[in-house]
Structure 1
């Protein structure tokens, strides 16, 4: 017998899918800028990359406001409670059909491993991407105010490194999204807002 839990609000789903589309666009255009593929010419790739970046910055500012005003920022506070059980589930139990050791609720949507992963994105990957990206974009105006040991090539390397961290997160995120009671269960929940419990 299954039960349904309304887990993701309309805004959370909008934020998730908009953010995903913009991040994929940024990765795709960024790799074109680096010459990793030729599906976009350089000028188009740069224009697309900058446009997607500004849209994502706007989305994140709005999302931060929403998280603060609704109290949903609490979903990302890390906890070590049951983290070993959840980590062991991801390392072994997931491959043996073991039940997930964490019960999701509306008040606790993310398990301890997810909380740490999302916090890492919010506090490490995102700031690295945005600070290096904005510094790169406005380097012509900011270069004279930068320390002598910092040059544009270093800024670009940090930006690329952060982009690869985001790509790794995206790949792991996509993989784990297929590990529900059916391969599409989590995807359906993020589309409809309703999670099926079995």
Structure 2
């Protein structure tokens, strides 16, 4: 095994803080929806709104950090090796085959991750945030010329976005267990160090 330092301190802080805020927003959001009662409707609404604004603030810092450090390049999508990675997750992983993608400091995410993140950033996030802000500023619709918009459709779109985010979270947690050990990827997001399999010398290959 080779140890590679992949995730800097701010990346780990940003990752865990964002995860905590999203999970908290899911919990309070589903309570607002009436799924269960923990905080009570009014407190759930206030907590949900506070978490949303906090997440916006976190994203402002994260965007600034990614732009100034050049780390934004980590999220440029690619289809290179995507079929090999897809085959690994669909069958190779169950046969004990090695992962076809090895992360490096300049390429931390495999092509399937990159395409997933692209979908989250361009489709899922806009759905959640646009409907969320419309929901929050419902009293201003008339002044914005949106009086013909139906609150029911906005609420439905926001709920669909929440379920899609929950599905992404569950799949993300599952994939986090698919390293060479169940906790390997989790440890890398705590310590910053990722253990990767070293390439076997050509002379030793069958």
Fold shared, TM-score > 0.5 on shorter chain: yes
How many residues align? The count is 197
C-alpha displacement at 1:34, in angstroms? 0.9
Equivalent positions of 1:42-57 (< 5 A) are 42-57=41-56
Note the alpha carbon deviations across 1:103-140, whole angstroms, 9 max, x for none: 11100000100000011111111111111111110111
Which TM-score applies when normalising by structure 2? Answer: 0.92
Aligned-pair CA distance for 1:142? 2.4
Summarize deviations over 1:153-181 as a string: whole Å, max 9, x none. Answer: 11111111111111110000000000001
* Aligned counterpart, 1:12: 11
Q: Which residue of 1 aligns with 2:141?
A: 142
Check whether the contact 2:28–2:44 (CA below 8 A) recurs between aligned residues: yes
1:159 is aligned to: 158
TM-score by length of 1: 0.95
- Give the Cα–Cα distance (whole angstroms) in 1 for the partners of residues 2 and 145 of structure 2: 57
Partner Cα separation in structure 1 for residue 145 and residue 119 of structure 2 = 27
Deviation track 1:69-88 (CA, whole Å, cap 9, x = no partner) reads 11111111111111100011
Question: Tell me, what secondary structure is at the counterpart of 1:181?
Answer: coil
Which consecutive residues of structure 2, in runs of 5 or more, have no partner in the other structure? Answer: 198-206
- Seen in structure 2, the aligned counterparts of structure 1 residues 143 and 89 have a Cα distance that, compared at 3 Å, is farther
Q: Which residue does the alignment assign to 1:186?
A: 185
In the alignment, structure 1 segments of 5+ residues that lack a partner are none
Q: Determine helix, strand or coil for the equivalent of 2:142.
A: helix
Question: Does 2:88 correspond to 1:89?
Answer: yes
| Structure-2 residue corresponding to 1:99 | 98
Shifted more, 154-163 versus 139-148: the winner is 139-148
SS at match of 2:54: helix
- 1:149 CA drift (Å): 4.9
Partner of 2:79: 80
Q: Which has the larger radius of gyration?
A: 2
Aligned-residue Cα RMSD (Å) equals 1.2
Q: Distance in 1 between matches of 2:46 and 2:74?
A: 35
